[in-house]
A and B are shown apart, each in its own frame.
Chain A
């Protein structure tokens, strides 16, 4: 009965590779988010989607491309991975009417070697 799930939990890869992180929520929420948490635990929003429509797109390199096949899923694809992409990536979702009450997934720790 996991609310917001992410796969994989850990991802170790080489510079230059392309990788994807998947996120699914079974809460019936209509808005989903991707956050990046760096090594100093600073948390910053990257993207948000509402009913498959892009709402927030912060100043993120265009190597990062979110994809929302339906409102229960928001995947994050990263091209040409760089060392600086190493971080923990969190997916979150929020219910209709209260977008700032967000439910977070467990995170995906990405390590780029």
Chain B
């Protein structure tokens, strides 16, 4: 069975500071991994995805994530937080099958302080 665990349900950073949101996964097969963002009262939007090509994945809005097999991690980072980054962030894993079944983590709320 696959699962993801997001460490820290709430992360607070100052504007301009580094953003680091942690995600660890468990999978019996090489996984595909995703980060989605949910802005208040909106649906989820794909930030980036790892599909076994480059281990460092760049996404939209200046975010990137690094797949580390040895640590079973896929942490999301952004060098400099902006107020507009305040949102809920979800890590997800799929089994690379063709069903599209995504298993989501419990989410991390990112707060950006001025």
Residues 49-98 (chain B) with a chain A CB within 8 angstroms:
49, 88, 90, 94, 96, 98
Residues of B within 8 A of A (CB): 32, 34, 36, 41-46, 49, 88, 90, 94, 96, 98-102, 104, 106-107
25 contacts between A and B (CB under 8 A): A4-B43, A33-B100, A41-B106, A42-B106, A42-B107, A43-B104, A43-B107, A45-B101, A48-B99, A48-B101, A56-B100, A56-B101, A90-B43, A92-B44, A94-B100, A100-B32, A100-B100, A100-B102, A102-B44, A104-B43, A104-B44, A104-B45, A106-B41, A106-B42, A107-B42
Asked whether A99 is an interface residue with its Cβ less than 8 Å from the other chain, the reply is yes
Main secondary structure of the interface of B (DSSP, over half): strand
| A-B residue pair count with CB separations less than 8 angstroms | 59
Task: Give 10 new A-B contacts, CB below 8 A, not counting A56-B99, A101-B46.
Answer: A41-B106, A42-B104, A43-B104, A44-B104, A45-B102, A48-B100, A99-B99, A100-B94, A102-B102, A104-B43
Given contacts A41-B88, A101-B49, contact A90 B44 (CB under 8 A): yes
Given contacts A40-B106, A41-B106, contact A99 B44 (CB under 8 A): no
Q: Hey, which chain B residues are within 8 Å of A106, CB to CB? A: 41-43
**A41 and B45 alpha carbons, distance in the complex (Å):** 15
Asked whether A75 is an interface residue with its Cβ less than 8 Å from the other chain, the reply is no
**A89 and B93 alpha carbons, distance in the complex (Å):** 20
Q: Hey, which chain A residues are within 8 Å of B45, CB to CB? A: 104
**A33 and B114 alpha carbons, distance in the complex (Å):** 38
Q: Hey, which chain B residues are within 8 Å of A48, CB to CB? A: 99-101
**A89 and B41 alpha carbons, distance in the complex (Å):** 12
Q: Which residue of A lies closest to B46 (CB)?
A: A101
Asked whether A66 is an interface residue with its Cβ less than 8 Å from the other chain, the reply is no
Q: Which residue of A lies closest to B45 (CB)?
A: A104
Q: Which residue of A lies closest to B97 (CB)?
A: A99
Contact A105 B43 (CB under 8 A): yes
A1-39 CB contact bits vs B (8 Å, 1 = yes)? 000100000000000000000000000000101000000
Q: Hey, which chain A residues are within 8 Å of B36, CB to CB? A: 104
Q: Which residue of B lies closest to A97 (CB)?
A: B98
Smallest CB separation, A51 vs chain B (Å)? 13
